[in-house]
């Protein structure tokens, strides 16, 4: 025993330390993933008997208008949510200066990320309110007809994305602010000597040094876009007539909401969402792996 331990200590010890983490990960992450995939092959209301339907849920999904609406909205979210990155960069550059009280301004700009998404959703619902909302008061002041953003299928998803961009921009801003702290002043000085300024300075000197921040901002924004749920739930409850649904909300609606409890169907939606996320997650993992090997 003693000899065995002596001989293999080097290889066993790391696993012992990893064991609690691995156990948690298996129980709370890996097992539920496979559990969901399994449930997605059943017709189940969460209470009674499960009935095996094979690919039935997926076939139904392909024939479900609501699924395509959600998918389309998810893509809109993915694309438009990325605007938070340049916006966050811009704010960070703007705030990256030494003025009296700059810390207060920084915290104020960070504020939307600190407050709960539910509050953000409520604030924006009032902002868009067709009667007394600030938006329509402003539109009225310049002589335009009021727009009921959240009750109009054409605008509703954009309206919610704008609400989502508000805190997400703050998040990206803080990532870039910390990144800017790490920018090498000597390189900037050298660039100055070579007469670089403005856009050139930003593009060739600052941005390359901010690459780690950009990468993280990209990852959190994409994941954030795919799991967008709270704002949809608070601001429109998926409406009007389901036109602002996204996959995460659609899954919740089918599986857990008042009129749902179709666990199998909900699980099938979750699996599809998981597959879409996997594209990004594997890209992310691949890059991490490559970076690790590079050093």
Partner 1 sequence: MKHLLGRGVSVMLAAALMSTTAFAGELVINTDTSDPAPKAAFQAVIDGFKAENPDVTVTWNLFDHEGYKTSIRNFLTADAPDLANWYAGNRMLPYVNAGLFEAVDDVWEENGLNETLASAAGSMTIDGKKWGVPYTYYQWGVYYRKDIFEANNIAVPTNWEEFKAAGATLNAAGITPITIGTKYLWTAGGVFDYLNLRTNGYDFHMALTKGEVAWTDERVRATMANWKELLDANFFLENHAAYSWQEALAPMVQGDAAMYVMGNFAVAPLREAGLTDDQIGFFQFPVINPDVPLAEEAPTDTVHIPSNAKNKEDAKKFLAYLARADVQTEINKTLGQLPVNNQSQVGDDKFLQAGNKMLSSTTGGIAQFFDRDAPAEMAKAGMEGFQEFMVKPERLDAILERLEKVRGRVYK
We find the least distance from the C-beta atom of residue 241 to partner 1, in angstroms, to be 4
Bridge partners, residue 42, by sequence:
52
Q: Kindly state the tokens that stand for 258.
A: 């008042």
Nearer to partner 1, 131 or 181 (CB): 131
Site for partner 1 (CB under 8 A): which residue of 256, 278, 286, 289? 256
Question: Is residue 54 a contact point for partner 1 (CB under 8 A)?
Answer: no
The piece of 32-40, 90-98, 198-206, 260-268 that touches partner 1 (CB under 8 A) is 260-268
Nearer to partner 1, 1 or 47 (CB): 47
Question: Is residue 60 a contact point for partner 1 (CB under 8 A)?
Answer: yes
- Write the CA distances from 228 to 75, 126, 145, 219, integer angstroms: 12, 20, 30, 14
Q: Is 117 helix (H, G, I), strand (E, B) or coil?
A: helix
Site for partner 1 (CB under 8 A): which residue of 29, 65, 104, 145? 65
Site for partner 1 (CB under 8 A): which residue of 260, 274, 280, 281? 260
Q: Could you give the CA distance from residue 19 to residue 15 in angstroms, rounded to a whole number?
A: 6
Q: What is the DSSP string of 234-291?
A: HHTTT-STTTT--HHHHHHHHHTSTT---HHHHHHHHHHHHHHHHHHHHHHHHHHHHH
Question: Is residue 162 a contact point for partner 1 (CB under 8 A)?
Answer: no
We find the least distance from the C-beta atom of residue 291 to partner 1, in angstroms, to be 43
We find the least distance from the C-beta atom of residue 283 to partner 1, in angstroms, to be 36
The piece of 41-49, 99-107, 174-182, 222-230 that touches partner 1 (CB under 8 A) is 41-49
Q: Kindly state the tokens that stand for 294.
A: 């590079």
Asked if 177 contacts 92 with a C-beta cutoff of 8 angstroms, the reply is: yes
Q: Tokens 């100055």 sit at which residue?
A: 192
Q: Could you give the CA distance from residue 223 to residue 78 in angstroms, rounded to a whole number?
A: 9
Nearer to partner 1, 130 or 224 (CB): 130
Q: Could you give the CA distance from residue 283 to residue 290 in angstroms, rounded to a whole number?
A: 11
Question: Is residue 69 a contact point for partner 1 (CB under 8 A)?
Answer: no
Q: Tokens 């199998």 sit at which residue?
A: 264
Question: Is residue 62 a contact point for partner 1 (CB under 8 A)?
Answer: no
Question: Is residue 46 a contact point for partner 1 (CB under 8 A)?
Answer: yes
Nearer to partner 1, 45 or 184 (CB): 45
Question: Is residue 224 a contact point for partner 1 (CB under 8 A)?
Answer: no
Please state the length of the chain.
295
Site for partner 1 (CB under 8 A): which residue of 122, 162, 242, 281? 242
Asked if 37 contacts 267 with a C-beta cutoff of 8 angstroms, the reply is: yes
Bridge partners, residue 51, by sequence:
43
Question: Is residue 236 a contact point for partner 1 (CB under 8 A)?
Answer: yes
Nearer to partner 1, 39 or 206 (CB): 39
Site for partner 1 (CB under 8 A): which residue of 76, 110, 237, 277? 237
Q: Which of 247, 118, 113 is nearest to 175 (CA)?
A: 113
Residues that bind partner 1 (CB under 8 A): 45-48, 60, 65, 128-130, 148, 150-151, 236-237, 239-242, 253, 256, 258-262
């Amino acid at each position: 025993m003693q000899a065995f331990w002596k001989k293999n200590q080097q290889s066993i010890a790391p696993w012992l330390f990893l064991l609690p983490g691995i156990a948690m990960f298996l129980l709370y992450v890996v097992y539920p993933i496979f559990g969901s995939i399994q449930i997605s092959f059943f017709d189940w209301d969460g209470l009674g008997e499960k009935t095996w339907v094979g690919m039935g849920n997926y076939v139904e999904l392909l024939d479900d208008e609501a699924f395509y609406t959600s998918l389309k909205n998810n893509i809109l979210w993915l694309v438009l949510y990325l605007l938070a990155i340049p916006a966050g960069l811009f704010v960070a550059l703007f705030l990256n200066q030494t003025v009296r009280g700059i810390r207060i301004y920084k915290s104020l700009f960070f504020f939307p990320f600190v407050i709960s998404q539910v509050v953000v959703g409520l604030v924006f619902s009032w902002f868009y309110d067709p009667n007394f909302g600030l938006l329509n008061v402003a539109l009225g002041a310049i002589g335009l007809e009021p727009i009921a953003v959240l009750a109009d299928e054409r605008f509703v998803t954009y309206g919610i994305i704008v609400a989502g961009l508000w805190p997400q921009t703050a998040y990206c801003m803080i990532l870039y602010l910390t990144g800017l702290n790490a920018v090498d002043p000597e390189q900037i000085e050298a660039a100055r000597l070579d007469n670089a300024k403005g856009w050139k300075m930003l593009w060739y000197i600052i941005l390359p040094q901010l690459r780690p921040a950009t990468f993280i901002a990209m990852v959190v924004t994409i994941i954030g876009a795919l799991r967008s749920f709270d704002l949809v739930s608070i601001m429109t409850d998926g409406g009007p007539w389901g036109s602002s649904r996204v996959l995460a909300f659609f899954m919740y609606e089918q599986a857990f909401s008042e009129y749902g409890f179709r666990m199998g169907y909900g699980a099938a939606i979750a699996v599809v969402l998981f597959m879409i996320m996997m594209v990004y997650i594997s890209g992310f993992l691949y890059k991490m792996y490559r970076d690790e090997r590079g050093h």
